[in-house]
A and B are shown apart, each in its own frame.
Chain A
Amino acid sequence: MTLEAAAGQALSGISVGMVLFLIAVGLSIIFGTLKVLNLAHGSIYMVGGFLCFGFTSALAHVPGAFWWTLILAPLAVALLGGLIEILLLRRIYDQDVLYQYILTFGLILILGESCKFIWGVGYHTVSAPWPVEGKIPIWGLSFPVYNLFLIGCGVVVFLGLLALMRYTGLGRMIRAVTYNREMANALGVNVPRVYTGVFMLGCWLAGLAGTLMPPMSVVALGSDMAVIIECFIIVVIGGLGSLPGAFLGAVILGLLTAFGIYVIPKLAVAFAFLLMIAILIIRPWGLMGKPE
């Protein structure tokens, strides 16, 4: 493999990783603060994808339809998340992880079937919008501009969230609730509202990922099941609740895929699980998480 080819492959790996990061970061935040393992995270992402298709179709004659959708669809998903949190999730906080798992599994079924009911069983596509369509020659490869755009989005989202957590009042509240819920409550923080807010943020992120994905991929039933396990792997490797951890975990997984197909294609999948197991046993709080 030439240096150019290796560089091109690394770029592809980072692209794959950024896509995964965008999908997984919402799960990490939700788990970090709410301590809820949201199995339905993949389904919320899928709803985002279908909404992207829905909005872009409805706004087809509006110039810049995709960009409007990028604003509207994640908001819609966040609202859906808020509904889910208030009506359902609230009742199972502090409950055994079993209930969270099964409740969110029930959500997978409901969300999936709703998508099928509204949008049918076929595949849907969305075109890459101006100005990020087309390709650029990089390192001897014709690389799609949209993938570069996604890499940019991933970095922006990561930095934005870091800034939110570290420098804003809202971020401080969220961190306070994460570290010590009772104390935060005693200090006058409206904990239930923060919880709802964080869940909505996580869903907004999932919706954003779901909206960004269709131009380079496909909107289809079953995409929720396909991503959720990968999300779990990333979040575990990076550290449940750690933002930089999710970023690192996603990049690792992306590069593993990109170079794994050169080296050990067959066992690449199992390798990710083995890494997950190793981390859970040796350092369960992940590469960048904090021990509880």
Chain B
Amino acid sequence: MRKALVFAVTAFMVTILAGGLAAPVQAQEKNPIVVGFIHSMSGAMSMYGISSEAGGQIAVEEINAAGGILGRPLKMITRDDKLNPEVGLREAKDLLLSEKADFLTGTISSAVALAISNYIKRDKKIFIVNISQSSSITEENWHRYIFRIDTNAVPYWGYAPALALGRTWKDKKIVSLGFDYEMGKNAIRQFKEKYLQIVPEAKIIDEIWAPLNTTDFTAHISKIANSGADAFFLSCIYGGGELAFTKQAYAFGLYDKMHAIQPCAGDVETWHGVKKGEPYPKGALATCRYPFWAIQDPKNKAFVEKHNKKAGFYPSYGAMNQYVIMYALKAAIEKVGAVDTEKIVNALENMTLDTFVGKVPIRAYDHQAMMPTWFGIIDFAPNLPFPHIPKAEVVGEESYHTVEQIKQLRGGK
């Protein structure tokens, strides 16, 4: 026992000394503006982390090549949140305290984003969300220092598919299948809300739920097939689960039997490995957050090329968002003339971002950038080897919750 204590003390002292002495020697060049980037860099969702980081680094390189911001170089420090809010929070604290980050960005996991948001609220630092979709981040749990430059679950999973369906097939009997968690439940609720405004006679005849991370949808698909609906709607089924569902549904001939509303199918990251002749969401109505093939702006084409070179695959919407975020920060800092958090918040609130996906205003009430969502039918087309939306239409601000709706959610404030 004594030995244990000796060891404990020694170890502790060594740790303290190591920590204290290993204070990073600040390269005393021009004092950089530091942006912390926390994302899922390992594990199942790391494709998005890697892609977003690449997008951000491209922006950093471009900005620094053009002289930086206010004469200071821009620096982005990446940390892995391991899809775990405890770890994400720890990294956020470390970035702000040790690395003296001026801003934080990132995350794909809404839990991590909420944890970080809660923390920076009291530390009064800006956190810009680049993928996390939960609408509560900018609605119920909004505060002054949180921004989101990305779509959120309301347009992407709910309103945009509703608008899209209203402009195309106008199906009356719909059955839904969703992952059994909060976003899944919210998505179907919001889809219903918006769609019933457009097609009042429509009905969601059944809601089927699968546990999160299911990959065997055989039982659920046979229930959908027997439901007698005109269309099925996938609520928040994404990534590996979506790929598995598509294969199984295709094998059941579900895509021939009824219409498919599959929001996430528009994001091509899932289909990179799928070749012609293999199962894909045939003829599905999908929404997409970044149809890079459909955007004509030459800056977009340059971005796609740079991303391909850096990461080895096509850019995801996370990459595009992070790129826009860096430029947004640049614009805000230059407008204010200094790295002053309060003034930058004000500047961002009233800003319209000039991006290669169009002019995107940041709404002051919820600090949500009105990033557009595209929709269309999934098909193969010669320009790309994998299935995508060849003809994409766009919806903008009308696909978000209105300020009135958010006010209600916040309890009338």
Chain A residues with CB under 8 Å of chain B are 1-2, 5, 8-9, 11-13, 15-16, 19, 116, 121-125, 127-128, 133, 135, 140-144, 146-147, 215-218, 220-223, 225-226, 254, 257-258, 261-262, 265-266, 268-269
Contact = CB atoms under 8 A, between A and B. Distances in A.
Interface residues of B, number: 43
A116 B41 CA distance: 12
A142 B215 CA distance: 20
A87 B253 CA distance: 47
B280 to A, nearest CB: 10
Contact of B223 (A9, A16, A128, A147): A9
B257 A142 contact: yes
Nearest to A143: B252
Given A122-B272, A123-B273, A268-B211, A9 B222 contact: yes
Interface stretch (B68-76, B243-251, B289-297, B333-341): B243-251
29 contacts: A8-B226, A12-B222, A16-B219, A116-B46, A122-B47, A125-B247, A125-B273, A125-B278, A127-B278, A128-B251, A135-B251, A135-B252, A142-B253, A142-B257, A143-B222, A144-B248, A216-B244, A217-B215, A217-B248, A218-B244, A222-B44, A222-B213, A222-B240, A223-B215, A226-B214, A257-B219, A261-B210, A265-B180, A266-B180
A5 B222 CA distance: 8
Given A127-B278, A226-B213, A218 B44 contact: no
Nearest to B257: A142
Contacts of B257: 142
A261 B209 contact: yes
Given A16-B218, A217-B248, 16 more contacts: A8-B225, A9-B223, A122-B273, A123-B243, A123-B272, A135-B253, A140-B226, A142-B252, A215-B247, A216-B251, A220-B239, A222-B44, A226-B214, A258-B219, A261-B210, A266-B180
B278 A8 contact: no
A226 B211 CA distance: 10
B113 interface: no
A4 to B, nearest CB: 8
A175 B240 CA distance: 40
Interface in B248-275: 248, 251-253, 257, 269-270, 272-274
A141 B218 contact: no
B171 to A, nearest CB: 20
B120 to A, nearest CB: 28
Contact of A121 (B46, B218, B222, B251): B46
Given A16-B216, A122-B273, A222 B248 contact: no
Interface string B273-315: 1100111000000000000000000000000000000000100
B411 interface: no
B68 to A, nearest CB: 32
Interface string B221-251: 1110110000000000001110110011001
B382 interface: no
B43 interface: yes
A125 B46 contact: no
B209 A125 contact: no
A123 B240 contact: yes
A121 B80 CA distance: 15
B208 interface: yes
Between B213, B214, B251, B272, the greatest number of chain A beta carbons within 10 A of the residue's beta carbon is seen for: B251
B209 A141 contact: no
B220 interface: yes
B50 interface: yes
B169 to A, nearest CB: 22
